[in-house]
Amino acid sequence: MTTQTAQTEYALEVRDLYVGYYKDLNILQGVNMKARRGQLTAILGANGVGKSTLLKAIFGFLKPNAGDVFLNGQRINDVPTYQRITLGLAYIPQRMSIFRWMSVEDNILLGGWTFRHDKERLQRKLEENFERFPILREKRRQPAGELSGGQQRMVELARTLMTDPQVLLVDEPTAGLAKLLKREVYDMLTELRDREGKTIILVDQEIRHALRIADYVYILDLGRNKTEGPTAEIVADLKKAFWI
């Protein structure tokens, strides 16, 4: 799929974002972030500093009280959440968000809701996904809720990839998964970046894994930027970067 002709250097940019669940109580207090195209940007920080809140705000589940979100240089603050997928922005929440009582195939097909009338493209995309995750082809008729945690993540990812989003917001993809599966999930993410050139923004508690695969790292502290830099720099000076 061809992407926009006028490509900005940064696929996603967040400027001075103030977000909160209540009007006068901001969890994010002026966060700035840029995600370079085709790279994996990790956002790290202690529990409760607002990492997940940032992703929710970028996707529009929370309305910013101030500040802007740009996708490919376009301001998207006012685009309704459900239309953001059509801009090539996708979100994988921390909580497993599959449709539990629907079959695996229906789950994945619903990912193509925005082009539901294009039967041929739906079939093609479904096939692509089954090739990406062969296990899902075997279990296509099963209710998605009966799958294992790792496989549910696969369903989620497959559903998300139906529309070929260019920017993926991923929130703690391995929370609650077994150790062996974690590696698998991170490999899936790196593969998406390396093979398909996706821009990925990863929020995670698994610092070790995140630092292994990230290209650029942001560290948040209590709703504000603390440090940022290419992964190598951050790893070189962990003391300065971290809250430990």
Partner 1 sequence: MVATLLHFVPAQMWLITPEFILRLLAEGLLIGLIYSLMALGLTLIFSVLGIVSFSHGEFYMIGGYVVYLFLQKFQNSLPRALTGIGALLAAMLVTFAIGVVFERLFLQPMARGEVDRPNEYAILTTFGLAFFLQYLMLGLMGPFPKKARRFFDLPVFDAGLIQATKASLKIGNITLGAGRLIAGLIALLALLAMLYFMFKTWTGRALQATSQDRQAAAVVGINPMNMNTLAFGLGAMLAGLAGAVLVSVYSWVPWVGVIASSKSFVIIVLGGMGSIPGSLLGGLIIGVVESLGTGLFPDPVRAQAYRDVFGLVIFALVLLVKPTGLFGRKL
Residues that bind partner 1 (CB under 8 A): 59, 61, 80-83, 85-86, 90-93, 97-102, 106, 109-111, 113-114, 116, 159-160, 163
Q: How far is the CB of 90 from partner 1 (least distance, A)?
A: 7
Q: What angle do CA 102, 108, 109 make, to 5 degrees?
A: 90
| Residue 35 burial by Cβ neighbours in a 10 Å radius (0-12, 13-18, 19+) | buried
Q: How far is the CB of 98 from partner 1 (least distance, A)?
A: 7
- The conformation of residue 21, written as its DSSP 8-state character, comes to S
What are the strands, taking DSSP E only, across the chain? 10-19, 28-36, 40-44, 66-71, 74-75, 89-92, 167-171, 199-203, 216-221, 224-230
- How far is residue 150's CA from residue 51's CA, in Å, rounded to a whole number? 23
- How far is residue 70's CA from residue 109's CA, in Å, rounded to a whole number? 29
- CB nearer to partner 1: give 26 or 163: 163
- CB nearer to partner 1: give 61 or 243: 61
- CB nearer to partner 1: give 60 or 67: 60
C-beta separation of 159 from 111 below 8 A: yes
Q: How far is the CB of 87 from partner 1 (least distance, A)?
A: 10
- CB nearer to partner 1: give 23 or 208: 23
Amino acid of residue 123? Q
Q: How far is the CB of 42 from partner 1 (least distance, A)?
A: 21
- CB nearer to partner 1: give 10 or 59: 59
